[in-house]
Structure 1
Amino acid sequence: MEHWYDSLLALLALPEYGLTSLFIVSFISATLLPLGSEPALFGLLQLNADMFWPAIFVATAGNTLGGAVDWWMGFAAHQVADKYSHSKHHVRVLGWLERLGPKACLLAWLPLFGDPLCAVAGWLRMPFWPCVFYMAIGKFARYVTMTMGLIYMWPRLGFGS
């Protein structure tokens, strides 16, 4: 069973490519595609414990850049989304987002809602750079929290041993 676990970690970490693969996986996972980058980050760190902060920063950069792409997709899709602007729920959510402004992008780390939130921020034409700034803070906090939690739960290969 342990051989299976080690093989899975090696596959997720993509050790031949390391930080480049982590950046790509983090970028893709921030788009509207359903992919999580935390397993790749955790696998990389299990195999390379000394790369904790570089891996966190690379994952944050890739995920934030993916969020910025979501923002631009939302910005460009403004006309298409107008057909939904009459529902009561839609109006309430848009009002909430407009009140919060770019700070709403702190929630870009949320599963299922975070990435579409970035697209909606672009659709609402919220200022790009403040949105990216708040996305980066939220995504960085998520990666640190998730990775520290995983390391605490499974202290193997250089972490806590």
Structure 2
Amino acid sequence: MILAAGQPDAPLLELFLAATAGNVLGAVVNFVLGRFLLRFEHNRWFPVSPANRQRAEALFNRYGRLVLLFSWLPVIGDPLTLAAGLLRTPLPVFLLYVTIGKAARYAVLLWAYTTLAG
């Protein structure tokens, strides 16, 4: 039986794990798309110019892979995960930072829910 978070007997750990896993899997889709698109970078229709790719790579390298901790943010999270794939971030590193960021978000949301509802 699936319970909603608003129910008093909702299994909060299971909700936390499901939400985190689902969000991480969505980020992995973006990562794979970034990796897949890289093979077409020398085509005229490729949406990112070599100069823009180098700029993005420089920014990513400047701030480090820690920026992936912010992959949970609306609007910028998806482009971050796509850029990580495009820039060939190692998958284990990607998974570590993205999982930490997304899990932290859901931990804060569940803490706020239990504090305010309790």
Task: Place the TM-score, normalised by the shorter chain, in its bin.
Answer: 0.7 to 0.9
Q: What is the TM-score when the length of structure 2 is the normalising length?
A: 0.79
Map 1:61-100 onto structure 2 (within 5 A).
61-78=21-38, 79=41, 80-83=46-49, 85-86=50-51, 91=55, 93-100=56-63
Tell me the residue number matched to 2:89. 126
1:60 aligns with 2:20: yes
Q: In structure 1, list runs of 5 or more residues that go unmatched.
A: 1-15, 20-43
Conserved 8 A contact 1:106-1:138: yes
The count of aligned residue pairs is 111
> Relative contact order (alpha carbons < 8 A, sep ≥ 6): 1 or 2 greater?
2
**Identity among equivalent pairs (%):** 30
Map 1:19-30 onto structure 2 (within 5 A).
none
* CA deviation after TM superposition for structure 1 residue 123, in Å: 0.3
Q: What is the TM-score when the length of structure 1 is the normalising length?
A: 0.60
Distance 1:111 1:132 in 2: 18
SS at match of 2:48: helix
Conserved 8 A contact 1:102-1:127: no
Amino acid paired to 2:48 = D
More helix by proportion, 1 or 2? 1
* CA deviation after TM superposition for structure 1 residue 151, in Å: 4.2
* CA deviation after TM superposition for structure 1 residue 105, in Å: 1.3
* CA deviation after TM superposition for structure 1 residue 102, in Å: 3.1
Q: In structure 2, list runs of 5 or more residues that go unmatched.
A: none
Q: What is the Cα-based RMSD across aligned positions, in Å?
A: 2.2
- The runs of at least 4 consecutive aligned structure 1 residues that moved more than 4 Å come to none
